[in-house]
A and B are shown apart, each in its own frame.
Chain A
């Protein structure tokens, strides 16, 4: 009975550590008590992922239909990819902005309209349309950044699971040898 309890405890904590590490990179290590490592992982993976999103724009970078295999790598960052995917799904690929101040316009502008933000007249309607889609090489760099962030978090998840399994056994062995 006792044997079953001791063997179950690390397994459940390793599952929780792995799940937490997937939900938010670094949270698994935080749960296991490695606070400094957790903060490093949280910051580095978040910065890498969102740098990639900034390079390619969220619409092109996180796209399940266009980049299925890379999306599998990206989804390993958990909440980061989920937030980015929801955001990407809600965005239109084209946006109308004021050519003078860059503010988003409520509707497609016509020549002679004035911007509600800067009151400047719009002289060229074509220059007011901006694409939110990225092309080569930005799109490739963005996908590699976000994909690598995901694959790095996969390593982190496996490390959190391994630490949750091994550390209680190590502590037990150290305690046993100290008593023995």
Chain B
């Protein structure tokens, strides 16, 4: 059990597909949204909804930028 837990942090993940790499942006943007709103919200009650809205905004925005850049790249290639 302990060895498996240590192995989790010592052995890197196997190769990731493009879709998996795109999915990994979601937890990271969630962290950014939660921390930012934890600092900014005047009351703790506002944090969950404000974080959710910010998370969706960042994630959608980044995917849109990614899609636009991919289209430009494909057109130029």
- B-binding residues in A (CB < 8 A): 36-37, 40-41, 44-45, 47-48, 50-51, 53-60, 87, 91, 95, 102-104, 130, 132-135, 137-139, 141-142, 144-145, 148-149, 152, 155-156, 159
Whether B21 contacts A141 by the Cβ 8 Å rule is yes
27 pairs, A vs B, C-beta closer than 8 Å: A36-B44, A37-B38, A40-B35, A41-B35, A41-B38, A44-B35, A47-B31, A48-B27, A48-B28, A54-B9, A57-B9, A58-B9, A58-B10, A60-B12, A95-B10, A104-B3, A137-B21, A138-B13, A141-B16, A141-B24, A142-B12, A148-B31, A148-B32, A152-B31, A152-B32, A152-B36, A156-B35
Closest to A102 in B: B7
Closest to B4 in A: A102
Most buried by A among B28, B35, B44: B35
Which residues in window 1-58 of B have CB below 8 A to A?
Answer: 3, 7-13, 15-16, 21, 24, 27-28, 31-32, 34-36, 38-39, 44, 47
Chain B residue numbers with a CB within 8 Å of A149 are 31
Q: What's the count of A-B pairs with C-beta under 8 Å?
A: 80
Closest to A139 in B: B12
**Prevailing SS type, chain A contact patch:** helix
Whether A54 contacts B44 by the Cβ 8 Å rule is no
Whether A133 contacts B31 by the Cβ 8 Å rule is no
Complex Cα distance, B3 from A59, in Å, reads 16
Chain B min CB distance to A155 (Å)? 6
**Prevailing SS type, chain B contact patch:** helix
Chain B residue numbers with a CB within 8 Å of A40 are 34-35, 38, 47
Complex Cα distance, B21 from A144, in Å, reads 12
Complex Cα distance, B32 from A139, in Å, reads 20
Chain A residue numbers with a CB within 8 Å of B9 are 50, 53-54, 57-58, 87
Chain B min CB distance to A98 (Å)? 12
Chain A min CB distance to B71 (Å)? 21
Most buried by A among B12, B13, B24: B12
